Chains A and B, each alone.
Chain A
Amino acid sequence: MTVPATEGDTASGLTVRVSRIPLLAAAVVPVVALIFYLLADRQWGQLPAFMPAFLAVVWVLDLLTAFLLFHQYVAGGSPRLAMLAGAYLWSSTVIVPHALVFPGLFAPAGLLGAVPSSAPWLWAAWHTGFPLLIGAALAPWGYRRPTGGHRARLFVVAALTLVVVALVSAVTWLVTGGHEHVTVIIQNGDYTVLTERFGPYIIGANLLALLTAVFQFRRERTRGLEAWAFVAVAASCGDTVLTLFARSRFTAGWYGARLLALVAALVVLAALLHEVTLLYRRVRTTAIELAERNEQLRTANSLRDHLVAVVSHELRTPLTGLSGIVEILREGRDQLSATQVDDMLGRADSLTRRLSLLTEDLLAVSTLDHGELHVSPTDLDLADALGECARTFPRNDVHADCPPGAVVHADPLRLQQMLANYVRNSIKYGRAPIVLSAAVRDGTAEIRVRDHGPGVPAEFVPRLFDRFSRADEAKVSEMSGSGLGLSIVATLAASHGGRVWYEPADPGACFVFTVPGRIDEPAAGPHMAATAERMA
């Protein structure tokens, strides 16, 4: 099982946390090694295709692993990755002369002037350098943060490659052209000398690397590649021990050792490919999330532009009226009758209320967006409330018709805001008369605002109570109103435990909201009707 990388993982260049699978794999290695150890001396005979196929596969796997690890290091990964890459580069490089000098592969006695001991010496170099370099990669040296720039990292890769190639070349020359300087360690396919004289050193190097890897596990901070590098070290140990104790080629132990060598070559590459796949998934997921976020931002931008446009329009219009009235009263008061002056003052009052309602709506939007809407419901006489609303539109034909004794439990300011928004909407899009009415049943007051205009087009009804539901419509004529009013009514009604809906009327449109309500008995006073007559 994998989990997302932490910052620490990324900093160490090991990006995937792993489960116990590497531990189980590492535990299987000694079991396999033991089985082959028990059969180690059993001769299985030479399979001509085995050695070239085995060396070719290991060479390709190790080279790919080194390539990917170097890339991760250059991309900003840990220097440990460079060291791990160096181990696999060493393995893939030393395999080449090993194959060239191995008798019977490219020439009966091997190429490069090989002697019988050349191949086992190169094997010894392979199985010493590889675990030691992995051990160095896993050793607890004081690495904190990726250091060096891109060029510096490329330089490190080039330097490591040169060192590896130079060392392998030197070893190759020593065991071929300079073979008289090294001990003969194989005779007639039997490498007992290698096992007995040099085996302990080679095994020691492997055990040192293994202990380093185990130490890393004990610190309980093993991540991804480290864990699989531990398996590679364990497999390399098994490979080395089996090879040495098999004592001669083409025995069961010798073949088993090659199997473990394949495991050592494969595990880190498999972990790398697994990691790449996971990263690809994350990149895909992130890309999709970013695309969605971008779309949301574009929508938010569009809504913001729309809000600025409509608010500007809705502010300018009453301000224009007010400034015109001031201009008229300042420069032409002497020409106006008392009725005309009253009319101007009435209009100024109406325009001021428009500005006030818009301001309240904008504040409500801001408050709602921050989740801070606060309502203070109290018992209100509904007939009074509807009448009060109707009186705030003295220049429009607005009637209130309410059953006697109706009481609602609502915030008085918010109730007026809901009513005013519905009435403003009816004035804007409907036709007079506009009737405010109410019905109380089952503890709920249904408050209706009906006009006698053309009604709402059916296709627009589903979006009627969405905020800025016209934001995507470019047509100038359809951009009137702030686009906030109905959505604010919906939210305010919900904050009172009520809801909103639209009912087509014949003719006209009817907008409804509910708040908690009751009829108080006995109903006091006659059926109330408040009518605000349109002023001339």
Chain B
Amino acid sequence: MARVLIVDDDEDIRDTTALRLRMLGHDVVAVDDAATARDAGARFDVAVVDIHMPGTDGITLLHQLRAQPGTAGLPIIFYTAHWSASVAAEAAPLADVYLTKNQPMSRLVQAIDELAGRPG
């Protein structure tokens, strides 16, 4: 099972997603801010990052993780409710997987399984 870091400012989404992944056997840590994610990132197999967060947004966090030794190769899934095509065009090429929140949670689970099982 994978070690998954969830970064989302919305408590309900964060906790619900974490609970679902834990029920599937994943080792999950859920945080609501970019700084904690940056510090802890190296310990995880995959990060599920919301784009739309107060303070440091998901795209900025991705750049910070990519630039940081230890997290540069961390697979990142953008998991966002954002609708804007321009944001999607900017964010999708940066992440390993780009998922919008209107898709079923099983799609997120599938992406985590694929990325966690990928040789690093």
Chain A residues in the interface with B (C-beta under 8 A): 308-309, 312-314, 316-321, 323-325, 327-328, 331-332, 335-336, 340, 344, 347, 350-351, 395, 428-429, 475-480
Docked-complex contact B52 and A316, CB < 8 angstroms: no
Which 3 residue pairs of A and B lie closest in terms of their CB atoms, listed nearest first?
Answer: A312-B83, A316-B81, A477-B57
Contact assessment for A316 and B100 in the assembled complex, using a CB-CB cutoff below 8 Å: yes
Contact of B16 among A308, A325, A478 (CB under 8 A): A325
With a cutoff of 8 Å between Cβ atoms, the chain B residues found around residue A332 in the complex are 20, 23
Q: Which residue of A lies closest to B11 (CB)?
A: A395
- Judge whether B71 is part of the interface by a CB distance below 8 angstroms: no
Instruction: Find out whether the CB atom of A321 lies under 8 angstroms from the CB atom of B20.
Output: no
Complex contacts, A344 vs chain B, CB 8 Å: 16, 19
Please measure, in the bound complex, the distance between the C-alpha atom of A232 and the C-alpha atom of B57, giving whole angstroms: 77
CB distance from B38 to the nearest CB of A (A): 15
Question: In the complex, A331→B17 CA distance in Å?
Answer: 14
Chain B, Cβ-Cβ closest to A351? B12
Contacts of A395 in B (CB 8 A): 11-12
- Given A347-B12, A475-B57, A476-B87, decide whether A328 and B81 contact each other with a Cβ distance below 8 A: no
In the bound complex, CA of A525 to CA of B102 (Å):
49
Question: Chain B residue with minimal CB distance to A346?
Answer: B12
CA distance A387 to B15 in the complex (A): 26
Chain B residue at minimum C-beta to C-beta distance from A347: B12
Known contacts A324-B17, A327-B105, A347-B12; is-contact A477 B83 (Cβ 8 Å): no
Extra A-B contacts (10), CB below 8 Å, given A320-B105, A324-B20, A477-B56: A308-B83, A318-B12, A331-B23, A335-B23, A347-B12, A476-B51, A477-B52, A477-B60, A480-B52, A480-B53
Please indicate the chain B residues that have their CB under 8 angstroms from the CB of A477 in the complex. 52-57, 60
A321–B12 CB distance below 8 A? yes
Residues of B within 8 A of A318 (CB): 12
Inter-chain residue pair count (beta carbon < 8 A) = 86
Chain B residues whose CB sits within 8 angstroms of the CB of A319 once the complex forms: 101-102
The residue from B9, B19, B57 contacting A340, defined by CB atoms under 8 A apart: B19
Residues of B with C-beta under 8 A to A308: 83
Nearest to A335 among chain B residues (CB) is B23
CB-CB contacts below 8 Å: B52-109 with A: 52-60, 81-84, 87, 100-102, 104-106
Chain A nearest Cβ from B23, distance in angstroms:
4
* 25 cross-chain CB contacts under 8 A: A313-B83, A314-B81, A316-B101, A316-B102, A317-B13, A317-B81, A320-B101, A321-B13, A323-B105, A324-B13, A325-B16, A327-B20, A327-B104, A327-B105, A327-B106, A328-B16, A328-B20, A335-B23, A344-B16, A347-B12, A476-B87, A477-B53, A477-B54, A477-B57, A480-B53
The reply to whether B81 and A320 contact each other, CB–CB distance below 8 Å, is yes
Point out the residue from A309, A350, A478 that lies within 8 Å of B82, measured CB to CB.
A309
- In the complex the two chains form, is B102's CB within 8 Å of A347's CB? no
- Whole-angstrom distance between the Cβ of A306 and the nearest chain B Cβ: 9
Question: Given A309-B82, A317-B101, does the pair A324, B54 have CB atoms closer than 8 Å?
Answer: no
- Does B10 reach chain A (CB closer than 8 Å)? yes
- A344–B17 CA distance with the chains assembled, in angstroms: 11
Which of A312, A317, A331, A428 meets B54, CB within 8 Å? A428
* Contact status A480-B54, CB under 8 Å: yes
Which partner residue on chain B sits nearest A328 by CB separation?
Answer: B20
A312 CB, min distance to chain B CBs, angstroms: 4
> Is B16 within 8 A of A313, CB to CB?
no
Chain B residue with minimal CB distance to A311? B83
For the complex, what is the distance from the CA of A477 to the CA of B39, rounded to whole Å? 20
CA distance A480 to B11 in the complex (A): 14
Question: Do residues B16 and A324 form an inter-chain contact, with CB atoms below 8 A?
Answer: yes
* Structural contact, B13 and A328, CB atoms closer than 8 A: no
Q: Tell me, in angstroms, the Cα distance from A318 to B51 when the chains sit together.
A: 16
Once bound together, how far apart are the Cα atoms of A320 and B15, in whole Å? Answer: 12
Which residues on the A side are within 8 Å of B60 (C-beta)? 477
B54-A347 in contact (CB<8A): no
Question: What residues of B have a CB within 8 angstroms of the CB of A478 in the complex?
Answer: 54
Bound form: Cα–Cα A477–B9 in Å: 11
**Are A347 and B83 neighbours in the complex by a CB distance under 8 Å?**
no
- CB neighbours of A314 from chain B (8 A): 81
Residues of A within 8 A of B10 (CB): 317, 321
Q: Hey, which chain A residues are within 8 Å of B82, CB to CB?
A: 309, 313, 476
Residue of A308, A321, A429, A479 with highest tally of chain B CB at under 10 A: A321
Check B81–A323 contact: CB distance below 8 A: no
Q: Give the distance to chain A from B64, nearest Cβ to Cβ, in Å.
A: 13
